[in-house]
Chain A
Amino acid sequence: MTEVFFTGNRAAAEAAKLVRTQVVAAYPITPQTSAVEYISQFINNGELKANMIRVESEHSALSAVVGASIVGARTFTASSSQGLQLMSEGLYFASGMRLPLVMAIANRTLSMPVNIWADHQDSMVNRDSGWMQIYCANAQEVFDNILQAYKIAEEVLMPAMVCYDGFIVSHVAERMEIIDQEQTDMFLPEPDLTKRPLMDPKNPLQFGEVVYPDWYPDYEYKKHKALLDSPKAIMDVGREYGELFGRSYGMVENYKTDDAEIVFMGLGSLTSTTQWVVNDLRDCGSKVGLSKIRVFRPFPDKEIVEACKNAKVIAVIDRDIGYGTSGMLFPDVTRALYPLASRPKCLNFIIGLGGKDITPETIKNIHETCEKALEGKEVETVNWPDARKYD
């Protein structure tokens, strides 16, 4: 274990090196780029024995790691924003092939207007592509989650995205700990290639073929079931990681939610700001808590219900927007809570789009609206506290 001062992108690159990635394919896009630059340097320094494919597009980046994985290699790629959108077709292709790919996403919004800063629009619109989605609040979590993502993906045979906020996490250096090669090898042995079919002339098999309507639902159900069952692997790996290296992980990190009347929920770095505000509000006597969602796909229904058991108002904070409806975290939370006999009031707050700074004041503003709802006053369901109003 070594203490280092790394950015999120550097942490991602270090993790990809430690897992002994064999093939990396990536295309430059802000704010992901430096992750891939670090890996290029590792390879050219001889620190990582891997082939780097400097592809001509993100579509080809994902396609190339699919090709590498289907002959048995451990792979890495990373992207952001428009790049992830260009990969979108390939996301379904990869999950349908049940390949254990791991991809780092330095979250950035989608054009237009042009904007290179953080929100979760890019990964959220791909939430139903069959990839697991793990969100990180800081560089330490980026490192820990990428290491774990390989173990989880290779266990459940579904791909995983590890998402962290562009610039806020990708480019800010923080004090963190990394594990060494020996520890990584112990935690993550070489992939077990007997677990899945591979392209091999000695055992010719056919991949990617047509399935007719009668059988198609069965394949779809199996993909769905693989993600539904994956929390066991996610929890086991998170526990084992904690036992070995001192930081345990679950689906959701519930903070002071046991007796909370108001529970904030969110993904990524905004949860750190929110946690700070929760402490502040607790000092002032407000019964508030935070449900920091680490794994968004598969969705942690059980943990969300647990976090809300005594809550009267839930503030679902979305750093994304489903135009014409609500944020994209919101409907999953309300769906999870709907079967409860006594449901809390669920409010949605759209903040921090395109990198708009999420300050403690932003969260306190959300809290004020929740207090109103708690007092039984009429409030909007979907709120935009940090946008100007044009009504």
Chain B
Amino acid sequence: MGKTKIKDLTDEEYLHHGSLACAGCGALLAFRHALKALGPNTITINSTGCMAVIMQMGVPKVPHFHVLFENGPAVMSGVEQALDIMGKRGDTNLLVVVGDGGTADIGMGSLSGAVERGHDFIYLCYDNESYMNTGGQRSGTTPFGAATTTTPVGSVVKGETRPMEMRKDVPEIMIAHGAPYVATASIGYPLDLIDKVKKAATVRGPSYVHVFASCPAGWRSDAKDSVKLAKLAVQTGLIVLFEHENGERTFQHLPKKRKPLREYLELQGRFKHLLDDEDATRELEDYVEGKFKAIEG
């Protein structure tokens, strides 16, 4: 499959303007790009989360079902099996879009079950690293040190204390399931994201695309920096973009020389307290270092 270029992108939009998203919403960009990749013959499901709220009042131009918090993959299992037995599947894409809380935490069982059973659908997780729809609480993907409303900066404990290595790594969990296509993407690299969603659509069976998506409201960053932050996360090495299929992993936009983490951290209020804390920033640097050692061998 060829790489998508900007001039190849359709001018067609599958989400109406005027959604309820905050300015600079990364999740909305993830969904918008995914639908540009898939086109109108797509049935979409949102588990509860920001996206379900953003989509209300007729934003999507494709069939859209806002389901419960934890059951998106289960509902899609039923859609897929019904279309199959009724002979109505054709080329219809089935896309489930869920945040990190609905994916890594409350919906893990439902996702695991649907992937293990091998349903033919695409699962897109927009990861903004906490429960943003309820105002920014800590989730299973919240990074070490980040201040959230349930891991606030106090006089004794400052932000999330669980080490980076123990974050719930859903892409790796999906690879362990034997999902035929697993990829990570970032809204900072939309063409790469579109290529990955397109690839996911061609794969038979479950595909999992984990999209890093900035959140100005929860990260306490400037809306104009959303795309910049989604790039910086990759350029600093905190986030690694890859594709995994047929047992092979390939990397995209892997930085040859990583930018200092500080450039990423200092743009976000959630990390402000870390800037003067050498131990804490070293913990993050060690994590990136260790990850790249493993990648580069």
Residue B75, interface by CB 8 Å: yes
A-B residue pair count with CB separations less than 8 angstroms:
147
Given contacts A63-B68, A67-B74, A201 and B92 within 8 Å (CB-CB):
yes
Q: Bound state CA distance, A25 and B61, in angstroms?
A: 30
Query: Is B116 positioned at the interface, with any CB of A under 8 Å from its CB?
Result: yes
Name the A residues within 8 Å of B43 (CB-CB): 71, 199, 201
Question: How many Å from the CB of B105 to the closest CB on chain A?
Answer: 15
- Is there an interface contact between B64 and A53, defined as CB atoms closer than 8 Å? no
A205 surroundings in chain B (CB, below 8 A): 63-64
B113 in contact (CB, < 8 A): yes
Complex alpha-carbon distance, A246 and B53, angstroms? 52
Q: Chain A residue with minimal CB distance to B62?
A: A204
A370 at the interface (CB under 8 A from B): no
Tell me the smallest distance from the CB of B77 to a CB of chain A, in Å.
Answer: 5
Indicate if A327 sits at the interface (CB-CB under 8 A). Answer: no
B78 touching A64 by the CB < 8 A rule? yes
Residue of B nearest to A67 (CB): B78
B180, chain A: closest CB distance, angstroms: 19
Tell me whether A199 and B55 are in contact in the complex, defined as CB-CB below 8 angstroms, given that A59-B71, A204-B60, A208-B65 are known contacts: no
- Structural contact, B41 and A201, CB atoms closer than 8 A: yes
Q: Which of A56, A73, A201, A207 touches B65 (beta carbons < 8 Å)?
A: A207
Q: Which of A59, A72, A73 contacts B110 (CB 8 A)?
A: A59
Residues A71 and B74 in contact, CB atoms below 8 Å apart: no
Q: How far does the alpha carbon of A90 sit from the alpha carbon of B48 in the complex, in Å?
A: 13
Binary interface encoding of chain B residues 34-69 relative to chain A, with 1 for a CB under 8 A from any of its CBs, else 0:
000000111101000000110111101111111110
Tier of interface size on chain B: 35 or more
Scan A62-81; emit 1 where CB is below 8 A from any B CB, else 0: 01111111111101000000
A89 at the binding interface (Cβ < 8 Å): yes
Q: Are B63 and A64 in contact (CB under 8 A)?
A: no
Q: Residue of A at shortest CB range from B14?
A: A204
A208 CA / B72 CA spacing, docked (Å): 12
Contact with B along A260-299 (1 / 0, CB 8 A): 0000000000000000000000000000000000000000
Cross-chain contact A90 with B68 (CB below 8 angstroms): yes
- Which of B52, B60, B74, B84 has a CB less than 8 Å from the CB of A51? B84
Decide yes or no: A71 and B64 within 8 Å by CB, A53-B117, A57-B109, A63-B110 being known contacts.
Answer: no
Contact A49 B85 (CB under 8 A): yes
Digit string of A34-64 for contact with B (CB within 8 Å is 1, else 0)?
0000000000000001110111110111011
A80 → B minimal CB distance (Å): 19
Q: Which of A61, A73, A90 has the most CB of B within 10 A?
A: A73
In whole angstroms, how far apart are the Cα atoms of A67 and B82 in the complex? 8
B45, B76, B79, B81: residue with the most chain A Cβ atoms closer than 10 Å: B81
The CA of A51 and the CA of B118, in the complex, are separated in Å by 13
Query: Does A334 count as interface, using CB distance less than 8 angstroms?
Result: no
Complex: chain B residue closest to A200, CB-CB: B63
A66 and B63 form a contact (CB under 8 A): no
Cβ–Cβ contact A23 & B82, under 8 A: yes
**Distance of A228 from chain B, by nearest CB (Å):** 27
Which of B56, B65, B110 has the most CB atoms of chain A within a 10 A radius of its CB? B65
Chain A, Cβ-Cβ closest to B46: A208
Q: Contacts A63-B67, A199-B43, A204-B60 given: A56-B78 contact, CB under 8 Å?
A: no
Report yes or no: B70 in contact with A59, Cβ–Cβ below 8 A. yes
Which of these, B75, B81, B92, contacts A63 with CB under 8 Å? Answer: B75
Give the distance to chain B from A22, nearest Cβ to Cβ, in Å.
Answer: 5
Q: Which of B95-127 contact A (CB under 8 A)?
A: 109-110, 112-114, 116-117
Q: Does A325 contact B (CB under 8 A)?
A: no
A201 close to B62 (CB less than 8 A): yes
Report which B residues bind A (CB closer than 8 A): 40-43, 45, 52-53, 55-58, 60-68, 70-71, 73-86, 88, 92, 109-110, 112-114, 116-117
Can you list 24 A-B pairs, Cβ within 8 angstroms, ordered by A?
A22-B86, A23-B81, A53-B81, A53-B117, A56-B110, A56-B112, A56-B113, A59-B71, A60-B77, A63-B71, A63-B74, A63-B78, A64-B78, A69-B82, A70-B65, A70-B78, A71-B86, A90-B71, A199-B63, A203-B63, A204-B61, A204-B62, A206-B65, A207-B65
| Known interface pairs A57-B110, A90-B71; 12 further A-B residue pairs with C-beta atoms within 8 A, sorted by A's residue number | A25-B78, A51-B85, A55-B117, A60-B73, A60-B109, A64-B75, A66-B67, A66-B78, A67-B77, A71-B83, A90-B68, A208-B52
Q: Which 4 A-B pairs have the closest CB atoms?
A: A67-B78, A56-B113, A60-B74, A63-B74
